[in-house]
Chain A
């Protein structure tokens, strides 16, 4: 894989994560437990889909197909999103925990990408970063509150953490071609991101009264569970096929229609 292909592969993986999670979040529109949160979450969903579009524009500028084609005319087994974002929306606790885990990973990744040696990525990262800071503020705020609000909220949040943790580690599955880009300081190493993510989320969960499956020794945090990998290798869950079908249905009826 040459450098150009490696960049495209990387951008596509990030864009697919954003696009699919954005659609998952949008499934709450009209159904969230509070009307305020309904709107807040719909905003976050739109932001994530917007980030996917921006990443896909860079992909296109490197000789790829346009964002609409990539999002709406590609089959599920051509996507490279992690399993984490494919999972059904679950209950509100799972949704909040998933979004918190995702936002934390995004912030950590973007901090590196803001210093990428590749100009288009560096510029986009700087643009997206403040939005993700806000997402994280919001989702972390919700985790901290729901973690110990009531017996029911604590129980549901803990169940969500137990379920989501190994899935979230899938965000850091190595993306094919990564090594070339790490050497050129275009992107950070996935292992570095994972280590920093564990270091970040563990104390937040602890503060919120929630336990995480980690081993802590002398200031370092290691995961105690097997990450759920496969997505970057285009091995997917049945859930992805279903959401892609829903997502692409209208577009495929009249491809290229203008709204």
Chain B
């Protein structure tokens, strides 16, 4: 179904300063300023938030699901996986 509403903006949410901005969803909005307001309304209302990013959906460069070789892992690459090296919980050593 075609989206007949305003342009779509992908929303990235930051919970604390220094933390990564995490993609949380998308909003419709007429322009940048309203996109930030809408993002705040939808995604910063029930959780901590110190910063939001919005990006026009069409500006996000995407891989194509229909190009199977891009992510192919047909040979054994188990040696690359990180199990077996249990990382201490972040910050735990400071206790």
**Chain A contacts to B: CB under 8 angstroms:** 34-37, 39-40, 43, 137-138, 141-142, 145, 149
Contacts and interface: CB of A to CB of B under 8 A. Distances in A.
A138 B38 CA distance: 9
A80 to B, nearest CB: 31
Interface residues of B, number: 14
21 contacts: A34-B28, A35-B28, A36-B27, A36-B28, A36-B29, A36-B38, A36-B41, A37-B38, A39-B42, A40-B38, A40-B41, A43-B41, A43-B45, A137-B37, A141-B33, A141-B34, A141-B37, A142-B34, A145-B31, A145-B34, A149-B30
A232 B29 CA distance: 39
Interface of B: 5-6, 27-31, 33-34, 37-38, 41-42, 45
Contacts of B41: 36, 39-40, 43
Q: Give the residue among B5, B31, B37, B45 with the most A Cβ atoms within 10 A.
A: B37
Contacts of A142: 34
Contacts of A37: 38
Nearest to A42: B41
A interface, by DSSP: helix, strand, loop or mixed?
A: helix
A170 to B, nearest CB: 28
Contacts of A145: 30-31, 34
Given A39-B42, A43-B45, A145-B30, A34 B6 contact: yes
A141 B34 CA distance: 8
A142 B41 CA distance: 15
The 5 A-B residue pairs with the shortest CB-CB distance in the complex, in nearest-first order: A40-B41, A36-B38, A36-B27, A39-B41, A138-B37
A37 B38 CA distance: 7
A142 B30 CA distance: 10
Given A40-B38, A43-B45, A141-B34, 11 more contacts: A34-B6, A34-B28, A36-B27, A37-B38, A39-B41, A39-B42, A40-B37, A40-B41, A137-B37, A138-B37, A145-B34
A132 to B, nearest CB: 15
B42 A36 contact: yes
A49 B34 CA distance: 24
A28 to B, nearest CB: 13
